[in-house]
Structure formats: C-alpha cells, structure tokens
Structure 1
Amino acid sequence: MAPTVASAGAGATTDRTPGPRARRRPDLAWLGLTPFAVYVLLFLAVPAVIAVGSGFTTGDGAFTLANLAAFTDPSVLRAFGGSFGLSAVSAVVGAVLGALVCWALAALRPDGLVRSVVDAAAGVLAQFGGVMLAFAFIATIGAQGLVTTWLVSAFGLDLNAEGAFLYTVPGLVIPYVYFQVPLMVLTFMPALEGVKAQWGEAAATLGASRATYWRRIALPVLAPAFWGSLLLLFANAFSSFATAAALIAQGGIVPLTIRTQLTSETIIGLQHVAGVLALGMVVVMAVVMGAYSLLQRRAARWQR
C-alpha cells in the first residue's frame, strides 16, 4: 500500500501544479501610482515641455535656434549671475547653520520634547514662503519694520541708510535662509543619526583622539550627505519665485526675468525668450539634481 499512497500523493501534487500554459494573474499594484503619474504628467511634464519648446519657435510657430542668442544678452547673464550668487550664498549659510542645529539635536533624545518640537517646526518652516514670508520680513526688517525702527530709536542704526536692502537681490538672502535652515535639518539629520556611537568607541580604544575621530571617520562619512544637502538647498533657492516676486518688482534673478519676458518683450528682435531662460533653468536643475542623486546614493550606504 505504501507505493500506492506515494503514487497517489505524487499524483495529487502533480495535479495541483499549474501547467505550462497557465497564466499568471496580472500584478495590479502599479495602478496605485496612476494618480501620481497623471499629476506629474499634467502639471509638471507637459508644462515643462511647452515652456522649453516655446524657446525654439518663432511668432508663427516655426522652429528656430535664433532665440538662443538671448544667452548673450547682458541682462540675461546678470539674471543668471544673480540667481547663482543668491542660491550659493543662501545654500552655504543655510547648510552651515542647519548642520549646527543637527549637531545640537543629535545629543538629545529622539523622542524628547525639544527634538519633537524642532522636527515639527522644521517640517513647517521649510514650506513657509511666498507672500506670507515676504510680509513677515517686511513687517520685521522692512523700511518701517519693527526691528528697523527699534534699531534706529535705540542705537541710531539704520539698516536701510543706503537704500531698502530687503528689496534687492542680496537682501533676498535673509528670507531665503529662513527656509533653507529647516530644509537642511530635515535632509541632514538622518545622515547624522546614521553615525554609530560604536565607531567613536572603537576609535578611542585604538588610541584615536576626538579630533582624529571626526577628521578621519565621522567627517568623511558625513561629507556626501552634507554636500548632497547643500546641492538640494541650492536647487531649492534657484527655483524659488514667490518670495522674490513679492519683494522685488523687476528682474535680477532668472525666475523674475522669465516673468518680465512673459509680460513685456525687452530683448528686441527675439521672441519667446522666456522659453530659452526656462531651458537654462532646466539644464542647471538637471545637473544639480543629478549630482545630488549620486551623492545621496553614496551617503545611503551609511544610513542603512
């Protein structure tokens, strides 16, 4: 009877095994990405293609490369220079201050009250911008701001003695840093938490000083994450528009120059210059975000 039972069991197993023609059920999990994909297509991809493509057409819709001559216009070059300078300065200041905040938070309990409050505030303030942020700084350090008038009355110090500093491209560094620091806290804190205490203990056991540990172990490990966060802050400032538009009426940076080109033609003989400037921004953002992706991929090895 044993061979019979074995044979029956084998036959039952064979019957339950799907044949070569059996079809697998389709995986429908990807359908969950459909709403997001439609959103990206309609509100990001299509507008970007239309904006960039308009820089290669004439008023009649014919293809042309003549509009690329806008990159030789002094006003356009000054706009890109202003955007690079503003983005670089605000990114460096925000990255340094944010890294210091992260270093102070690392000594606190992750589930403590102070840490929770700072994390929540960073998440909110990193998205705080536009007209509300501009109004807050106008009311604080504007021409008749609270801090401005107090400094004049108390110390005789006028922040706007040589002109309204807040309403210039260099003055934009102040409100930009306001949302750059929280963004740095959000992006750099996971990397700092990835540094294991055992590494410092092992280095001390081998006779390394605290300075040697930071110079030879901690800083090399944190460097990719820091530089990646710095590039993210640069991209964030380079693409910001609403706060600058609320404070500065004319150009000076690329987003404001694009607005000017859309409302009035300032480069004689060229059309659709806004699309050419958008192309320049897309190229810059692609390079920056590509470098950011490479650095984050390297930093992720230490955060697993």
Structure 2
Amino acid sequence: MTATLTRADVASAASQKRRRRAPGWLAVVPLLAFTAVAFGLPAVAMLNGAFTVKDPSSGVSSYTASNLSDSLQGPYLTALVGSVKLSALSALIAAVLGLLLAQAVVSSRSRALREAVLTASGVLANFGGVPLAFAFVATLGNAGVLTTHLHLTDHGWNLYSFWGLVLVYLYFLIPLMVLTITPALDGLRTQWREAARNNGATGVQYWRFVALPVLAPSLLGGLVLLFGSAFAAYATAAAMVGSAVPLVTLQIADAISGNVLVGQENVALALSLDMVLVAGLVMAVYLPLQRRSARWLDA
C-alpha cells in the first residue's frame, strides 16, 4: 500500500510539474510569433528576391545566382569594400580612444565624473542619423562655424570625404566603446596589479602581460561590435556625403529607388544578403569572445 501511494504521489507530482511548465511555454509563444513575423518573413523575402531574376520581355521569374555575382562586381564590390574599410578603420580608432577614456574614468576617484561620462556615452552612442549629419555640417561643413573661424578649408579640410565620415562615425562609436569596455575594466582585480608590482613589474609590463591579455576578449568583442555598428549605418552617410563616398548601404538605397539596370531590380536584395552574411560573421566572432571575457572577469 505504501509503495502504491508512493507511485501515486510521484505521478501526481510529475503532473503538477507539467502543469506548472505549461504557462511558461505559452508565454514564449507571442515572442516566437513576433520574431517569426518581424524577422522571419523579411528574411525569407530577402532570400527569395536575392536569388530571383525576372525576364524583362516575358515577365517570367526564375531562380539564379546572378544577382549575388553582380553584387560582388563593379561599383557594388567597390561600395562593399569601401564600407568594410570605413567600418574597420572607424572601429579601430574608436576602440583605442574609447579604451583610454574608459580607463581614465574607471581610475578616477570622482564618482560624479564617472556617472557623467557614462550617462553622456549612453546618449551619444544612440545619437546618429540626419541630426548628427546636420550638426557636423553646421559645425565643420564648408560653411560651418569652426571651418569659417579656423579657416580649415585653406588647410585642405573637407567634411564630405572618407576621413570626414570617419570623424562623424567616431562621434557615436567612441561612447559605444566606453560603455562596452568599462565593465571589463571594472573587473580587473586590484590584487593583480599589486602582485605584479610586488614582483617588480612596471606599469607597462602589468598592462602588457596581465591586463591586456585578460581584456583581450572584451577588446576584440568591442571592436567587432563597433565594426557592425559602423557597417550598418546609413542615414548619417546618406545625408552628409551622398554618393561621394561609395558605401554598400547607399548602393542598396539607389537600387531600391529604381536606379538600376532593367532586370537587376533584385540586386538590392543581394546586397542586403551580403550585409547579412558580413554581420553574421561579425556576430559569430563577437559572441564567443564575450562569453570568454565573462568567464575571466567573473571568476
């Protein structure tokens, strides 16, 4: 009898456990449905269009890889390479400057300074698009306030160029790097510096052999994140330089607006697929690095 009651109790407990789990699964259904509609359907449409070509004369659509091959040739390839160069250079400069600024904030004894810098970084990291372009045009454009007062044009300054766009991108990439790397800098143990000092290590040696190896995953992860943010930026470049600097996002906008050859209307979708693949590679590098950094700093 006791054994029978025990089995009954176990079955009852298992049934109650299943009933408790059911609401949890049901709560996830709306999120999965939203993800499928908001991300799944556009992704399927992009893939379908990227591999679809419509015959101009007959109007018949067929599947082919010609759109992808066209997206990796001529001006499209130039734009893709230009976006990669711009994003990589901007991300590298922002990573170095952001690391130095974050270290200055972390090592400062002023709590008000730390909170002010982190708050400003949170705002500036999300400030972009047309307002950012207008602010720089009004300040450093050909007729900008600083350009006029400092006679920057006489020294060869041109905001509407590759390096001008790099400067504008640094405006929101450096704060983003500060937000990304500050938690990692906070995770550096004071005991590590003291142990290095007790063993005769200088400050440079501590950073070279202790701090930087520990921070390397976070630094590389932050660099990848900055690259992805710069690579996906569109509105700022479109409002400021137009077609003066070849970028893949601008090429996609031209293709969507109909500025393509007949029969190549889906090249924009192929270019979008190229960007998704690059972004996928970026995230594939970023996520493992972030997990490795978390294991080091939380240990």
Give 1:209 deviation, angstroms: 2.8
Give 1:81 deviation, angstroms: 1.4
Check whether the contact 1:169–1:252 (CA below 8 A) recurs between aligned residues: no
1:56 and 2:51 aligned: yes
TM-score by length of 1: 0.86
How far does the alpha carbon of each residue in 1:106-135 deviate from its partner, in whole angstroms, 9 at most, with x for none? Answer: 11248x111111111111110000111111
2:78 paired residue number: 78
Point out where structure 2 has 5 or more consecutive residues left out of the alignment. Answer: 55-59
Distance in 1 (CA, whole Å) between partners of 2:133 and 2:148 is 18
Check whether the contact 1:190–1:303 (CA below 8 A) recurs between aligned residues: no
Give 1:219 deviation, angstroms: 1.0
Larger Rg: 1
Q: 1:139 to 1:21 in 2, by over 3 A?
A: closer
1:203 paired residue number: 196
SS in 2 for 1:62: strand
1:230 paired residue number: 223
2:11 paired residue number: 19
* Alignment-mate amino acid for residue 91 of structure 1: A
TM-score by length of 2: 0.87
Check whether the contact 2:68–2:271 (CA below 8 A) recurs between aligned residues: no
Count residues in correspondence: 289
Give 1:35 deviation, angstroms: 5.0
Q: 1:52 to 1:187 in 2, by over 3 A?
A: same
1:286 and 2:280 aligned: yes
1:122 paired residue number: 121
Structure 1 residues 85-94 or 205-214, which shifts more? Answer: 205-214
1:147 paired residue number: 146
1:264 and 2:253 aligned: no
How far does the alpha carbon of each residue in 1:147-186 deviate from its partner, in whole angstroms, 9 at most, with x for none? Answer: 111112xxxx416857xx3223432111110000010011
Structure 1 residues 222-231 or 70-79, which shifts more? Answer: 70-79
Q: 1:159 to 1:34 in 2, by over 3 A?
A: farther
Point out where structure 1 has 5 or more consecutive residues left out of the alignment. Answer: 1-6
Check whether the contact 1:169–1:253 (CA below 8 A) recurs between aligned residues: no
Give 1:42 deviation, angstroms: 2.9
Aligned ranges 1:129-278 → 2 under 5 Å: 129-152=128-151, 157-158=152-153, 161=156, 165-250=158-243, 252-267=246-261, 269-278=263-272
Distance in 1 (CA, whole Å) between partners of 2:64 and 2:141 is 45
Give 1:199 deviation, angstroms: 0.8
Distance in 2 (CA, whole Å) between partners of 1:168 and 1:214 is 36
